[in-house]
Chains A and B, each alone.
Chain A
Amino acid sequence: MSYLEYRMRTVPTGLRKILYMNWPLVILVTAVACIGFLMLYSVAGGSYLPWAEPQMKRFALGMVMMFAVAMVPIWFWRNIAGLAYGLSLFLLILVEYIGVTGMGAQRWIDLGFMRLQPSELGKITLVMALAAYYDWLNIEKTSRPQWVLLPVIMILVPTFLVLKQPDLGTAILMGAGGGIMMFLAGVHWIYFAIVIILGIAAVWIVLATRGTEYQLLNDYQYRRIDTFIDPANDPLGAGYHITQSKIALGSGGWTGRGFMQGTQSRLNFLPEKHTDFIFTTLAEEFGFIGAISLLTLYGLILFFCITSALQNRDRFGALITLGVGVTFFLFFAVNMSMVMGLAPVVGVPLPLVSWGGTAMLVLLGAFGLAHSAHVHRPREKR
């Protein structure tokens, strides 16, 4: 575990590291963030306040953080992965006691200058911890039951804590993210097949126990499922969000209604228009062309994460880069499915676009890790 293993001589040093960063990724992330500023400006009715301006400041702070993280050698991050994981678990437990609840979900700790959501932090520290675990683990042992059980526990503990908050969206993202990390590390197919079968069974049990005293989810969570299946049966209640969101999205057409011309968002028919449902405003105002462009930008970010990982012969570096990509993918995939009526409404923001401090900072920090892995990857020669 010595850094000597990384062939110091082939790794760039000092400020030269900046040149070796994954620049396409930096540009793409900035582009997506700019789309976010534009949309926040629009949903505020053509005003930098209350959302666009603070979001820009956070993005600037996040970029500084990203570069800082990128400058630090990747082995440092590997070495503190366990510590970070432990810290985020501690924060997740702490938030149960001193946290503030907002809007029935998403607990945070008020740090004064910002609201820290341990669950956001937890997503990335879990990825780090898993990457470090599989980096450490002998490849031969990867699929042995006892070595499979340990990461499963590592995933389930924070997932369970987040689910208790209750924040179903983040819990799903965490569980799925962790599972995909295990898949990437090469755990045998059979485990995933078993999990999928068990998952289907679990869904059946969850639905079957509804209304009995053993019911596993809260009533509001069941209602979200109902609403997802048929939003029309409660158009002004629980189905309101999804119905209005689909109307906004669909009414955009090919080219949209034009910047700041979206009636659904401007007239407040859209719920959470600056956070989880911001994509619908984009789709309404810029139409199919705008929506598909954002999806393409997201796709390119994933592409550059994967190519960077494929070039990286360091197992931790490759896994952390892929993990960051997976986390990012899950964010936008779940959010977009949700607003398009393909998935139930679970509170997941649109990455880099939705209003939200912790998510932005954590995500940029995570991209910093990917950059660090890219900069500090093992090289054959200079």
Chain B
Amino acid sequence: MNNKPNDNQASNRVVSRRALILGGVQLSFMGILGLRMRFMQVEQADQFRLLAEENRVNLRLIPPVRGLIYDRFGDIIAENEQNYRVVMVREDVDDIEATIARLARLVELNPDDLDRATKELKRRSPFVPVTIADRLNWEDFSEIAVNAPALPGVTTEVGSSRHYPQGADFAHVIGYVGPVSDYDLGKLEDPDPLLQIPKFQIGKVGVETKLESKLRGRAGTLRIEVNSAGRVMRELDRRPGIPGDNLQLTVDAMLQNFVQARIGNDSAAAVVMDVNNGDVLAIGSAPSFDPNKFVRGISVADYADLTENEFRPLANKSIQGAYPPGSTFKMVTALAGLEAGVINQEERIFCGGYKQLGNRRFHCWRRGGHGKVPLMEAIFQSCDVFFYETAERVGIENITKMANKLGLGIRHDLPMSAIHSGITPTKAWKRDWASKAEDRTASWLVGDSLNAGIGQGFVLTSPLQLAVMSARIASGKAVVPRLIKTINGIETDILETAELDINPVHLKAVRDGMIAVSNKQRGTAFRSRIIEEGMQMAGKTGTSQVRNITAAERARGVTRNRDLPWNRRDHALFVAFAPHAAPKIAVSVVVEHGGGGSTAAAPIARDIVLQALFKGLPPLTAYPSSQRGTIQELHENLELRDPTEVSDSRLKI
């Protein structure tokens, strides 16, 4: 062991020198640290401040209040309902199972929902509220709210969801809303961030979807401070959204209710229009369904009931249905003939029960024929041969031109889903149609024109188009249907109501024929006449075949409708306008496979006309005295809505 060299000068010099070197190195390193701090905290401070702000602040969307929908008089059709739910926050719950059990004693819990909720509780962060029960009624909701102290972690929330107080009446008109699906998201080019909100509802069908952009409104924003786990620490500021526009339909809810009730038992459609401005006053399709079920999420069983029903409740037959118009098309053929000059009002055409064309016979509905009939009689007796002859003379192109002029074969752009344009055939159309299948004849045959002349063959029309047709015949103006009356209180444009390019004399001739249909002794709808002075309607029956009648069947006698299976029976149609002296409304009624137009459709049309003109149930005195008993019974059996029921949510106009 060396002698203690502690005081050795050499040793100390070395240590001191190196200590100073080390001190210098340390000092310069601290200098670097100081400079780095300065660089980050002074030079780059703004940039980092911004990043910190982005970290801290989260933007949340506040769903806007969806626009309400009213009828033309301010009756509420679609409203937003308070939706009471119960949510659970996992971190505040001591024992999830026990709490749910306690909750189940207070309110009824859906096992499926519960299953989903417990899974979600385990998956999500402990502070995220998970919905346990949805759409509670006020009693259950308050029960839970009162018992909240005994249920730690369970809280109640109020949300908003769509409700249709008029239920099935407007299901086909305004449709319904539902949660955003992946399909919806895929369809949209630039999806609104609102759509990403879980359970956000958008329009799926009808007005709700067609006017989605107006109804939705704009989202509000909520700036909140969050921590790194996403937990909300506090609210920084809130900018309320812009509520959606309120809509007012042209539809009269009372009349709509009556229409739905009146056609409710059949598979039918009916449209009521204002002949002067085109306002759609009622547009019904039966059977209907409860749209509220779709908002809540329809059960598989309920949905199957709707899809498997032979009467197709989900189809909106008034615009999506396309039917051969049958005899209701005869006004078109008549006007085409008159305008072309191939027939006139006086000329009588002989009907011997059929028209011979080569080796084919085109039969009139009356086997024995009508004899020599002029136009007026041909319309009110609905003579087929007269119109076969007219059609042969005037040709299909003229007929189609006239049909289009009267609103058939044209797409009327109402804000509704899957509107059918109908078919008004031309020679070009047939070539195109024939090219789609091998066994079809491409050339236009005279027989095709004859069939088209009485609204059979290729011609297809929707009930809406038929209503437009009768409105145009009644007013002589090119009225265009309108469904939306106001958007946010501002009246929408009434589309062109120019005079039709048809000689008024010819229109009057056709109208006279229609007046006779339901007012003259031998008219096809005489039984459905109105006797109230000044309210009489003009109309036209239609019975369109959905099957071919073979020569053999004709020889042994045509099978009666009631002996056929339902879906082979004839469609029953009726178009009308009233009052015939000064038309206000036009009506079309189609009863699918209803049998005869005069028996199945005309009585419905008459009831609708009277309801519309009287703005309520008509007095029995409006009906022929012999029918008043059955009418009274019918009125009593109608399930109408109490008109005072929704009065408290009326729009103030």
Contacts and interface: CB of A to CB of B under 8 A. Distances in A.
B11 A247 contact: no
B26 interface: yes
A269 B15 CA distance: 46
B37 A288 contact: yes
Nearest to B26: A329
A310 B19 contact: yes
Interface in A265-298: 266-269, 283-284, 287-288, 291-292, 295, 298
A295 B33 contact: yes
Chain A interface helix/strand/loop/mixed? helix
Nearest to B37: A291
Contacts, number: 155
Contact of B22 (A137, A246, A326): A326
Interface stretch (B41-49, B215-223, B406-414, B524-532): B41-49
A139 B8 contact: yes
Given A186-B18, A292-B34, A313-B7, A249 B40 contact: yes
B120 to A, nearest CB: 23
A269 B37 contact: no
A295 B49 contact: no
B16 interface: yes
Given A247-B52, A314-B6, A252 B45 contact: yes
Contacts of A186: 11, 14-15, 18
Nearest to B21: A183
Nearest to A298: B30
Interface string A29-70: 000000000000000000000000000000000000000000
A1 B3 CA distance: 9
A378 to B, nearest CB: 7
A250 B44 contact: yes
Interface stretch (A110-118, A156-164, A332-340): A332-340
Residue of A267, A284, A292, A319 with most chain B CB atoms under a 10 A cut-off: A267
Contacts of B42: 253-254, 288
Residue of B1, B8, B34, B229 with most chain A CB atoms under a 10 A cut-off: B34
Interface in B228-280: 228-229, 233
Interface string B28-70: 0110111011101110110111011101100000000000000
B37 A267 contact: no
A315 interface: yes
B41 A252 contact: yes
B12 A250 contact: no
B26 A269 contact: no
A295 B30 contact: yes
B48 A246 contact: yes
B301 interface: no
Interface string A133-148: 0011111000000000
Chain B interface helix/strand/loop/mixed? helix
Nearest to B43: A250
B156 to A, nearest CB: 28
Contacts of B19: 184, 306, 309-310, 318, 322
A74 to B, nearest CB: 11
Interface string A331-374: 00100110010100000000000000000000000000000000
A273 to B, nearest CB: 10
Residue of A5, A288, A302, A333 with most chain B CB atoms under a 10 A cut-off: A288
A87 interface: no
A139 B10 contact: yes
Contact of B45 (A251, A313, A314, A342): A251
A295 B37 contact: yes
A185 interface: yes
A318 B45 contact: no
Contacts of A252: 41, 45
Contact of A267 (B36, B38, B56): B56
B637 to A, nearest CB: 68
B4 interface: yes
B23 to A, nearest CB: 5
Given A247-B52, A291-B41, A313-B7, A337 B33 contact: yes
A263 interface: yes
A268 B49 contact: no
A318 B228 contact: no
Contacts of B38: 288, 292
B48 A310 contact: no
A319 B45 CA distance: 41
B56 A253 contact: no
B48 A251 contact: yes
B27 interface: yes
A57 B37 CA distance: 32
A24 interface: no
Contacts of A313: 6-7, 12
Contact of A318 (B4, B12, B52): B12
A174 interface: no
A266 B233 CA distance: 10
B7 A378 contact: yes
A179 to B, nearest CB: 11
B37 A283 contact: yes
A141 to B, nearest CB: 9
A93 interface: no
A130 interface: no
B225 interface: yes
A314 B104 CA distance: 81
Contacts of A216: none
Nearest to B2: A138
Nearest to A314: B6
Contacts of B5: 138-139, 315
B51 A247 contact: yes
B561 interface: no
12 contacts: A183-B18, A186-B14, A247-B55, A250-B47, A292-B37, A295-B34, A306-B22, A306-B23, A322-B19, A337-B33, A340-B36, A378-B6
Given A244-B228, A267-B55, A315-B8, 4 more contacts: A186-B11, A250-B40, A284-B52, A291-B37
The 7 A-B residue pairs with the shortest CB-CB distance, nearest first, are A250-B48, A267-B227, A186-B14, A251-B52, A288-B41, A253-B45, A268-B228
